[in-house]
Amino acid sequence: MEYHKFSAKPCNSYLFFTLLLFFAFLASFAHAAVHFHEFVIEAKPVKRLCRTHNTITVNGQFPGPTLEVRDGDTLVIKAINRGRYNVTLHWHGVRQLRNPWADGPEFVTQCPIRPGQTYTYQFTIQNQEGTLWWHAHSKWLRATVYGALIIHPKLGSPYPFPMPKREIPILLGEWWDRNPMDVLRLALFTGAAPNVSDALTINGQPGDLYRCSSKETAIFPVEAGETILLRIINSAMNQEMFFGVANHKLTVVAVDSAYTKPFATNVIMIAPGQTTDVLLTADQTPARYYMAAHAYNSANAPFDNTTTTAILEYKSAPCSAKKGQSLKPIFPQLPGFNDTATATAFTSQLRSPSRAKVPLEIDDSLFFTVGLGLINCTNPNSPRCQGPNGTRFAASINNVSFVLPRRNSLMQAYYQGQPGIFTTDFPPFPPVQFDYSGNVPRGLWQPVKATKLFKLKYRSKVQIVFQDTSIVTVENHPMHLHGYQFYVVGSGFGNFDPKNDPAKFNLIDPPERNTVGTPPGGWVAIRFEADNPGIWLLHCHIDSHLPWGLATALLVENGVGKLQTVQPPPLDLPRC
């Protein structure tokens, strides 16, 4: 900027200040950058657990590239599909105001990008800071197609905590020793649950506790005494996880791109879809310390019970400790796999930093039962009925097992006024009342398949209570709403009590998120204002439950005028 030129002329200070103001005004716009990227989606050999797989990646990287932007910036990402599968990309947690076309879920806001085709995602980050991520939103491609999306504050605005000396994205993932697309295909054929993963990973690496892996274990160097920011993302397919670093406290400062009141903890619980930013001060004896993650398994079902590790390495650690096999890193204590008490104690500490803008009067009060189900077969011996007792697994919200359309995406059908793709009669409460978390009669285990959406008026103030059922098993279902951030105002175990529970809601400083888990056999209540028109997928972020139908979509109508109306779609939006 050139304004020191003017300061050399003190005779006209009025002009000087006017110009200064003018430039400050210009600068406030000029600082928003536009980031162009090409994401080539293609198969590349990736070796893990002693075997090489032809893995679908972005630009040959696994995990994919990290995107780093500031609040207010625009991203323009040209997705080029050079793989053999249909694909779409989703920017998990980005609000995409009036711009569902850039959201990405296949057959919801767009038709898939076919092999050989391209589509350019263009969107602006509006009033979001912290950690988000991106992933494929087509079948099980997100097992390997994912990466971090880091949003720094606007230029000149600080973090609400002392500036960390370094920042490290920690992507938790799951690895199958086979093509994940085949794992899903087999499961959808047999009706049984998909195979559990063979390894958990940190930044794509299983770590020291797996075969053929320790040479590539992720190592994060730190200077003694410095404070670093870990941006932890659970990009795993099906697994909630506990994460900890040996001997080090973690101070939680943000979740899902919203700041929190800071609090210290030894361990965090993080569900697929969620992010957690923590500060860590390297205040221990210079040495090597493991960071580790393993499953938090709330269901009565098989799970990957392995442990992934990475290493926090003090630069001043004695050399023998760096190279030598002799000095093993110190291992953190993680809770037991089914330690729901620790998981609950962790999530219940989350608070917004200050008084939150929680809707107080509610226009749409919804009660959604979420859980698994079983579809009975006419021939239980059929190879397609290998679920429990000759059934096929399903999942549902309010007994509706969500089916994606095939002929068009929901959003395109809605925009073009094409009938017959979906209906808007999704029930606001379950068709039958029962003891949801108790012993559910077998007659209530079978959901109905349909493509039903729930319609909301623009600016409607919405409350949704998600009630986990004990059908097949109770479970923590991480419920993710596209296009929104919501407040988590309450939760509890057992059945939600509409008379007494609302009085205990936190309407002062509840945490703001985009993904929240139902306590196993319990309920969680969220509130938000429907200020983003479009069709927004609401689903369980466990990727074995999504294809079984644990989803619905909210159709938020346009308001009045251009600023309350969905933008026109981009010209290159794929057609079905």
Catalog residues that contact ligand C2O under the rule CB under 6 A. Answer: 90, 92, 105, 135, 137, 273, 480, 482, 537, 539, 541
CB of 462 to ligand C2O, least distance (A): 18
Q: Backbone dihedral region of 126: left (phi > 0), alpha (psi from -120 to 50 degrees) or beta? A: beta
Q: Which is nearer to ligand C2O, 295 or 404 (CB)?
A: 404
Please tell me the distance from the alpha carbon of residue 197 to that of residue 180, in angstroms, as a whole number: 9
CB of 105 to ligand C2O, least distance (A): 5
Please tell me the distance from the alpha carbon of residue 112 to that of residue 119, in angstroms, as a whole number: 9
Q: Which is nearer to ligand C2O, 92 or 231 (CB)?
A: 92
CB of 397 to ligand C2O, least distance (A): 14
Which segments of 7-50 are extended strands (E)?
A: 34-48
CB of 273 to ligand C2O, least distance (A): 5
Q: Which is nearer to ligand C2O, 334 or 395 (CB)?
A: 395
Q: Which is nearer to ligand C2O, 358 or 535 (CB)?
A: 535
CB of 340 to ligand C2O, least distance (A): 24
Q: Which is nearer to ligand C2O, 233 or 279 (CB)?
A: 233
Which pairing describes strands 258-265 and 67-70: parallel, antiparallel, or unpaired? unpaired
Give the chain's radius of gyration (CA, Å).
24
Question: Torsion over CA of 22, 24, 25 and 30, rounded to 10 degrees?
Answer: 120
Q: Which is nearer to ligand C2O, 404 or 465 (CB)?
A: 404
Q: Which is nearer to ligand C2O, 134 or 436 (CB)?
A: 134
- What separation in angstroms does the CA of 89 have from each of 103, 104, 122, 159? 8, 5, 12, 29
* 448 DSSP β-pair partners: 400
Q: Give the sign of the dihedral formed by CA 569, CA 110, CA 487, CA 254.
A: negative
306 and 337 Cβ atoms separated by less than 8 Å? no
CB of 236 to ligand C2O, least distance (A): 11
CB of 280 to ligand C2O, least distance (A): 26
- Classify burial at 542, counting beta carbons within 10 Å of its beta carbon; exposed 0-12, middle 13-18, buried 19 or more: buried
280 and 264 Cβ atoms separated by less than 8 Å? no
Q: Which is nearer to ligand C2O, 412 or 437 (CB)?
A: 412
- Classify burial at 206, counting beta carbons within 10 Å of its beta carbon; exposed 0-12, middle 13-18, buried 19 or more: buried
CB of 480 to ligand C2O, least distance (A): 5
* Closest residue to ligand C2O in the complex (CB): 92
CB of 146 to ligand C2O, least distance (A): 9
Neighbouring CB atoms inside 10 A of 37's CB total 15
Q: Which is nearer to ligand C2O, 375 or 538 (CB)?
A: 538
DSSP annotation of 440 reads: -
Q: Which is nearer to ligand C2O, 358 or 464 (CB)?
A: 464
Q: Backbone dihedral region of 60: left (phi > 0), alpha (psi from -120 to 50 degrees) or beta? A: left
Which pairing describes strands 34-48 and 74-81: parallel, antiparallel, or unpaired? parallel
Q: Which is nearer to ligand C2O, 291 or 411 (CB)?
A: 411
449 and 521 Cβ atoms separated by less than 8 Å? no
Question: Torsion over CA of 174, 46, 132 and 80, rounded to 10 degrees?
Answer: -130
181 and 172 Cβ atoms separated by less than 8 Å? no
Q: Which is nearer to ligand C2O, 58 or 222 (CB)?
A: 58
CB of 539 to ligand C2O, least distance (A): 6
> Look-up: residue for tokens 């959604």?
368
CB of 104 to ligand C2O, least distance (A): 8
CB of 137 to ligand C2O, least distance (A): 6
**Three-class secondary structure of residue 60 per DSSP:** coil
